[in-house]
Structure 1
Amino acid sequence: MPSSAPTTAFTAKTAAEPSALPAILGTYKRQAPLFVRGDGVYMFDEHGKKYLDLVAGIAVTSLGHNDAGVMNAMQEALATGLIHTSNLYRTAPGEALAKWFVDHSFASSVFFANSGAEANEGAFKFARRWAKSTGHQAKHEIIAVRGSFHGRMPGTLAATDRPAYRLPFRPLMGGVTIVERELEELRTVLDPETAAAVIVEPIQGEGGVRVVDPEFLRGLRELTRERNVLLILDEIQCGLGRTGSFFAHEQIGIVPDMLTIAKPLANGLPIGAILVNDEVARVMQPGDHGTTFGGGPLLAHVAHHVVQRLSDPAMLQHVRETGAWFGEQLQGIADRTGQVRAIRGKGLMWGMDVHEPAAAIIGRAFEKGLLLVSAGEHTLRFLPPLVITQAELAEGLAILESAIQA
């Protein structure tokens, strides 16, 4: 008689056939310890060792780990039992978060995504949709600038100035060009009949924590208006309080046509957003773009709590004052060690160019209980939680100096 045992579509490995590869695809070089807990500005591994976190999940956990307000907001959202509905239906948290941004920014409408890369991909689509509405059928080109990083998806990778990221995936999406951060070159590139948008980060995070010249950005805003080209500001890493103002562009005195944000928006839960002005919003139609999870009720409720905290004037003053002090301390390390070439940054977003490979210093700091991240082969990047104190930073600075001197 035929067996009635269920069949499976796969063959399980036996103990004698272990996989030679990690279960998680090896696209990251992860540190060996297993992290199991976080509290405030610290993370703890499986052996109980404490690490001071100056990475914050790459500018994500701005309110720190295990924050009481964030945890309470999560519990409030979970208590409704409404975790997901899709965007076929309205939910109060999503609409409340969108209205908050409309009330506190230039935007007239908001689109919620799941990440910064998705937000930038969506912004490119919105720009091309708007461009076609101007009557110029050839108007589609997206312009990025030297040193940019906008993501690793097909469109955003084409706008990212990192050859090592780009080369294995050529050909990249067409209609995207990277030019120098010079107004004269942009004047030759921005043809009103072909250029749809320029995208730029006020501070280039992955590109070495390079603060883009405010005069360049103001000139770019004038030029894009003159040529009828959209200006997209990517504040995924530098926005939402990181520089000491809620939006980084507030300190520059310009207003974009679109703004992309993500990383700290829900303090670790995955959500991004595209803020658009009235002109862009009016051309978008049902079916032009979509997302299954974007702006779901759990994420939106937590994000609404987070943005109110990050936009608080007292919080922003703390970031400005603590950030200025931190920059001075980094310069002191540079002067004492002689191992530093340059210091750049604003608020609590700093870069330090070092003589030896940054990875070596990061490794030594890790052994001493300090978490750091790089921004290029010879640049250390500092992105601590925005709630960090000077005393906690001083603890990290001492470890950093010893790791550099070693």
Structure 2
Amino acid sequence: MASFLRASSGLRSMTGRAVPARSSFKYTSVRSLASSSSTESSFLADEPVAPKVVTAIPGPKAQEHIAELNKVFDTRSLNMLANYQKSYGNYISDPDGNILLDVYAQIASIPVGYNNPALIEAAKSDQMISALINRPALGNFPSHDWASILETGILRVAPKGLDQVFTAMAGSDANETAYKAAFMWKKQQERGGPDVDFTEQELTSAMKNQKPGAPDLSIMSFKSGFHGRLFGSLSTTRSKPIHKLDIPAFDWPQCSFPNLRYPLEEHVEENAAEEKRCLEEAEHLIKTYHNPVAAVVIEPIQSEGGDNHASPAFFRGLREITRRNNVLLIVDEVQTGVGATGKFWAHDHWNLQDPPDIVTFSKKAQTAGFYFGNPALRPNKAYRQFNTWMGDPARAIIFRAIINEIERLNLVEHTAKVGNYLYGEIERLAKQYPEQFQNLRGKGQGTYIAFDNPKRDEFLLKAKTFGINIGGCGPSAVRLRPMLIFQKHHADILLDGFENLAKSL
């Protein structure tokens, strides 16, 4: 099977231009030679040993497939046409025989490699077959083993203090249902508890989208944050106008997110002052905004908005503010969760005295939903949090297999170690090529590393000619999102690619 899975990889640039082939490139630096002679073995033994670029990207075969696809599907956002049957481990392939080291991983969504054998075995199980061909409407007809699937998978890695879950379909969906839980919790408090029934006025006004049944409550988010593209989640997304244009939005507040200066050790006082300013603004908005705030939603690292960081002290301060003002804290771990930061959940880095009220998840979990601990966050009546599917048991089974692989290979601790090595090497490159690696950030955050580049789009495009598939975010950031099975020898290939890129731009 391994020989079948290995092979080509190619991609189409975000600008729509073909990326020229660079078939002559070789990694022959001291770093690569040292890595090739090391004793490190790959987690997936039959993985390709290096990238290979043999055609322009997209090549002729990929272009044919793209033209065919464009007749029936919008391909304007297409970055790469992949051949997933021939992708393996950390490497993504295309129809033309190109093989790229993938440190973007489907926008941070592939945890343990393409065609991971353990996940293939899970997909073959009788439990998976039943979940796929008899997909249940979970709210009405859950399977007899649904509790077991949750307890042995999703709930096995629940954040500290959160022992219940509401499953969902995607990250946006997870955030939307979390917001609904916050609003229902807030109104239930005001009403006097779960046993106090709705008034006739509430029932009739809700059907007209009017108060008091449709109250003027809000969710506070942060500038440059991203929480999804559905209506409620989109109202809290603040990363790019293109996501929001022409879409009606709720009148909800946004707070400044700390704009830290780098290197952190050289700007300690001003960064502390900036975080203090943002916390003061947050509390002011919570206390004074004309639509009362039911919850605050925040990413541990603002991802789509540019990989923006804040200190653990900032998040501890925000937790204190939400507690003091009786609003919920929703931590959006859709992109940061499941090990990428060297902790299973990124908010574990904060050392909170008490946990967030809600943690949303998706991406590397391959399923979605939100964790909670307070029973009051369950609606007081049935059908208030409901849709046909309410998640997907098949994806929950895959997440369980992912968790098993993470634990078997100790991938969270591994990612922390590889991230430290990778950060240190990029830091050295930044001293040699300061224009190409600006505002390096993510120290101590596993492989969740980013830097700014003034020619970012050209950098990303040209990286493919060196056999690297990488992504960006925000106006100028290059973001690393490798898989949890990304190892030191993969890091060396990436670092050599970075050095060659820096020399060529």
The answer as to 2:406 corresponding to 1:354 is: no
The answer as to 2:183 corresponding to 1:128 is: yes
In 2, the alpha carbon distance for the partners of 1:190 and 1:97 equals 39
Change over 3 Å in CA distance of 1:73–1:370 after alignment to 2: same
Change over 3 Å in CA distance of 1:283–1:21 after alignment to 2: closer
Partner residue, 2:305: 207
The answer as to 2:255 corresponding to 1:171 is: no
The answer as to 2:314 corresponding to 1:216 is: yes
Query: 2:392 pairs with 296, 300, 307, which one?
Result: 296
Query: 1:119 pairs with 166, 174, 189, which one?
Result: 174
In 2, the alpha carbon distance for the partners of 1:31 and 1:152 equals 22
In 2, the alpha carbon distance for the partners of 1:389 and 1:297 equals 31
| RMSD over equivalenced CA pairs, Å | 2.4
Letter aligned with residue 189 of structure 2: T
Letter aligned with residue 341 of structure 1: Q
Instruction: Map Cα deviations across residues 347-380 of structure 1 (whole Å, 9 max, x no partner).
Output: 1111111122x11111111122110000123110
The alignment partner of 1:148 has SS state of coil
User: What does 1:383-402 align with in structure 2 at a 5 Å threshold?
Assistant: 383-402=481-500
Change over 3 Å in CA distance of 1:178–1:363 after alignment to 2: same
In 1, the alpha carbon distance for the partners of 2:165 and 2:128 equals 26
The answer as to 2:398 corresponding to 1:343 is: no
Change over 3 Å in CA distance of 1:401–1:285 after alignment to 2: farther
Instruction: Map Cα deviations across residues 279-308 of structure 1 (whole Å, 9 max, x no partner).
Output: 443435321122333433322211112134
Contact kept, 8 Å, 1:36 with 1:46, in 2: the verdict is no
Q: CA deviation at 1:19?
A: 9.7
Contact kept, 8 Å, 1:198 with 1:232, in 2: the verdict is yes
Partner residue, 1:259: 359
Letter aligned with residue 92 of structure 2: M
In 1, the alpha carbon distance for the partners of 2:474 and 2:175 equals 22
290-299 or 322-331, which deviates more: 290-299
Q: CA deviation at 1:392?
A: 1.1
Contact kept, 8 Å, 1:343 with 1:352, in 2: the verdict is yes
Contact kept, 8 Å, 2:226 with 2:236, in 1: the verdict is yes
The answer as to 2:256 corresponding to 1:180 is: yes
188-197 or 66-75, which deviates more: 188-197
89-98 or 27-36, which deviates more: 27-36
The alignment partner of 2:297 has SS state of strand
Change over 3 Å in CA distance of 1:92–1:361 after alignment to 2: farther
The alignment partner of 2:245 has SS state of helix
Contact kept, 8 Å, 1:77 with 1:297, in 2: the verdict is no
Instruction: Map Cα deviations across residues 250-287 of structure 1 (whole Å, 9 max, x no partner).
Output: 12122110010000113xxxx21111222443435321
Contact kept, 8 Å, 1:127 with 1:280, in 2: the verdict is no
User: What does 1:70-81 align with in structure 2 at a 5 Å threshold?
Assistant: 70-77=119-126, 80-81=129-130
Q: CA deviation at 1:214?
A: 1.1
Contact kept, 8 Å, 1:109 with 1:281, in 2: the verdict is no
Change over 3 Å in CA distance of 1:127–1:92 after alignment to 2: same
Contact kept, 8 Å, 1:364 with 1:403, in 2: the verdict is yes
Q: Identity of aligned pairs, percent?
A: 25
Partner residue, 1:94: 146
Q: Which has the higher strand share?
A: 1
Partner residue, 1:15: none
- TM normalised by structure 2 equals 0.71
The answer as to 2:136 corresponding to 1:85 is: yes
Letter aligned with residue 79 of structure 2: R
The number of residues matched between the two structures is: 383
- TM normalised by structure 1 equals 0.87
Contact kept, 8 Å, 2:224 with 2:305, in 1: the verdict is yes
